[in-house]
Amino acid sequence: DTEVTQTPKHLVMGMTNKKSLKCEQHMGHRAMYWYKQKAKKPPELMFVYSYEKLSINESVPSRFSPECPNSSLLNLHLHALQPEDSALYLCASSQDRQGATDTQYFGPGTRLTVL
């Protein structure tokens, strides 16, 4: 089973709203990732959690706040977003951060529109 699930599938929010994106995997992976992807561009890394600790924050604005409640769950809390934050948000997981087993498996993504 190489499934990563994400909810919701689509989200429309205003600039003053607070919302959360959720990601779950049950593959026993210890690394989880948030990516942002704009149309016709590659995924852009936002955050990496390794063993439930934030290991990489790619200078993401504070209006995006990640949370890893346990090894299977990853959340992305959104607050005061801008229209340019509209994108596909992808969650991924991998067995570990290093070595040949670092294949990342992606969830289906959340299509976010900020009005």
Partner 1 sequence: GQNIDQPTEMTATEGAIVQINCTYQTSGFNGLFWYQQHAGEAPTFLSYNVLDGLEEKGRFSSFLSRSKGYSYLLLKELQMKDSASYLCAVVDSNYQLIWGAGTKLIIKP
Closest distance of CB 72 from partner 1, Å? 18
Cis, bond preceding 8 (omega within 30 deg of 0): yes
State which residue, 63 or 106, has the beta carbon closest to partner 1: 106
7 vs 103 by CB, closer to partner 1: 103
43 binds partner 1 (CB under 8 A): yes
Residue 95 binds partner 1, judged by CB under 8 A: no
Number of C-beta neighbours around residue 74 at 10 A: 27
Three-state DSSP at 109 gives coil
Contact with partner 1 (CB under 8 A): which of 11, 87, 90, 112? 90
Total binding residues toward partner 1, as defined by CB under 8 A: 21
100 binds partner 1 (CB under 8 A): yes
What does the radius of gyration of the chain's CA atoms come to, in whole angstroms? 13
Please tell me the distance from the alpha carbon of residue 93 to that of residue 105, in angstroms, as a whole number: 5
Identify whether the C-beta of residue 6 lies closer than 8 Å to the C-beta of residue 107. yes
Binding site for partner 1 (CB under 8 A): 2, 40-43, 45, 56, 88, 90, 97-98, 100, 102-109, 111
